[in-house]
């Protein structure tokens, strides 16, 4: 029987030697949900994301995606099943153009079988997908410029575009507004809301104003465990959260 959740972790625990980075994390995420994962530094947020995309294997516990056990699955297989992610640090190909960066993601071998004897310009379905993504994220005007010559904000938007271009069911965003000015953060907020209309998103973010304005639900991690979950208002009013996280900010 299919699960009602697109993502589910059961008893997820990760120990690095004697240090537990995650302890018995039971997380559920419904299809179409826009969820934030917040908490103090060292709470286990990135560790949890890295387990979902297969960069880390749990000490114990299970991860299910659309009802299928994907615990310990390699990252490229997670992508093939419909999970894509961005990272804290900008991760694009600086010498390639913006369009070429998006093209590589759209032509991902996890989604399409590659044929080295076929010229890439003949792949009209990929070209259509690239054009659509560039229009979505408002990067079409700089599509033919080297990615490494663009501003930090534009490169962060490009990285989100790479995640979207793989056509994921679940998109994981790790601190999408990191290093951005206030106006750039507003633009990212609009973009995230737009993308969330037809896919599930879970994001890690330290910018609490951004989180409260964008997401529908929040999970707070503290010392590797889920402290509380709820709506933005419920989280902002929670005394435990104010003590361990919001108060620090």
In a domain, 192, yes or no: no
CATH number of domain containing 248: 3.40.50.300
In this structure, the answer to whether residues 36 and 101 fall within a common structural domain is no
In this structure, the answer to whether residues 14 and 73 fall within a common structural domain is yes
Dihedral sign, Cα of residue 150, residue 90, residue 88, residue 168:
positive
In this structure, the answer to whether residues 142 and 163 fall within a common structural domain is yes
In this structure, the answer to whether residues 103 and 53 fall within a common structural domain is no
pLDDT in 10s for each residue of the chain, 249 residues: 456 899 999 999 999 988 999 999 999 999 999 999 999 888 999 999 999 999 999 999 999 999 999 999 999 899 989 999 998 777 889 999 999 999 989 887 555 555 555 555 656 788 889 999 999 899 999 999 999 999 999 999 999 999 999 999 999 999 999 888 888 899 999 999 999 998 999 999 988 889 999 999 999 999 999 999 999 999 989 999 988 765 554
Q: Are 83 and 172 in contact (CB under 8 A)?
A: yes
Alpha-helical segments (H) within 66-181: 75-81, 98-106, 124-136, 152-165
In a domain, 188, yes or no: no
Please state, as a whole number, how many other Cβ atoms lie within 10 Å of the Cβ of residue 132.
Answer: 14
Angle between helices 182-195 and 152-165 (to 10 degrees): 10
In a domain, 72, yes or no: yes
In a domain, 102, yes or no: yes
In this structure, the answer to whether residues 152 and 46 fall within a common structural domain is no
In this structure, the answer to whether residues 61 and 177 fall within a common structural domain is yes
In a domain, 218, yes or no: yes
For residue 196, give Cα distances in angstroms to 31, 54, 172, 226. Answer: 10, 23, 11, 24
State pTM to two decimals. 0.89
Number of domains into which the chain is organized: 2
Dihedral sign, Cα of residue 91, residue 178, residue 59, residue 81:
negative
In this structure, the answer to whether residues 130 and 159 fall within a common structural domain is yes
Quote the tokens at residue 200.
């599930």
The Cα 61–Cα 8 span in angstroms is 11
In this structure, the answer to whether residues 1 and 65 fall within a common structural domain is yes
In a domain, 111, yes or no: yes
In this structure, the answer to whether residues 162 and 175 fall within a common structural domain is no
In this structure, the answer to whether residues 154 and 175 fall within a common structural domain is no
Confidence (pLDDT) at 156:
92
In this structure, the answer to whether residues 1 and 77 fall within a common structural domain is yes
Residue ranges making up the domain that contains 38: 1-82+171-181+200-249
In this structure, the answer to whether residues 106 and 160 fall within a common structural domain is yes
Q: Are strands 19-29 and 225-230 parallel, antiparallel or unpaired?
A: unpaired
In a domain, 186, yes or no: no
In a domain, 187, yes or no: no
């Amino acid at each position: 029987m299919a699960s009602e959740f697109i993502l589910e972790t059961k008893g997820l625990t990760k120990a690095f030697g004697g240090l537990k980075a995650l302890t018995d994390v039971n997380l559920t995420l419904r299809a179409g949900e826009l969820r934030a994962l917040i908490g103090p530094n060292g709470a286990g947020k990135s560790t949890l994301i890295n387990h979902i995309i297969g960069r880390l294997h749990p000490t114990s516990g299970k991860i299910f995606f659309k009802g299928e056990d994907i615990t310990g699955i390699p990252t490229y297989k997670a992508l093939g099943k419909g999970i894509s992610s961005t990272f804290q640090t900008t991760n694009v190909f600086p010498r390639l153009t913006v369009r070429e960066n998006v093209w590589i993601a759209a032509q991902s071998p996890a989604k399409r079988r590659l044929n080295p004897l076929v010229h890439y310009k003949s792949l009209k379905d990929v070209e259509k997908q690239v054009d659509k993504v560039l229009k979505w994220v408002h990067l079409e005007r700089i599509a033919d410029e080297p990615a490494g010559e663009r501003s930090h904000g534009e490169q962060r938007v490009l990285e989100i575009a790479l995640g979207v271009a793989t056509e994921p069911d679940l998109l994981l965003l790790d601190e999408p507004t990191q290093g951005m000015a206030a106006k750039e953060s507003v633009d990212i907020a609009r973009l995230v809301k737009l993308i969330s209309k037809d896919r599930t998103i879970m994001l890690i973010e330290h910018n609490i104003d951004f989180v409260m304005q964008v997401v529908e639900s929040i999970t707070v991690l503290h010392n590797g465990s889920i402290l509380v979950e709820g709506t933005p208002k419920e989280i902002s009013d929670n005394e435990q959260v104010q003590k361990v996280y919001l108060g620090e900010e």
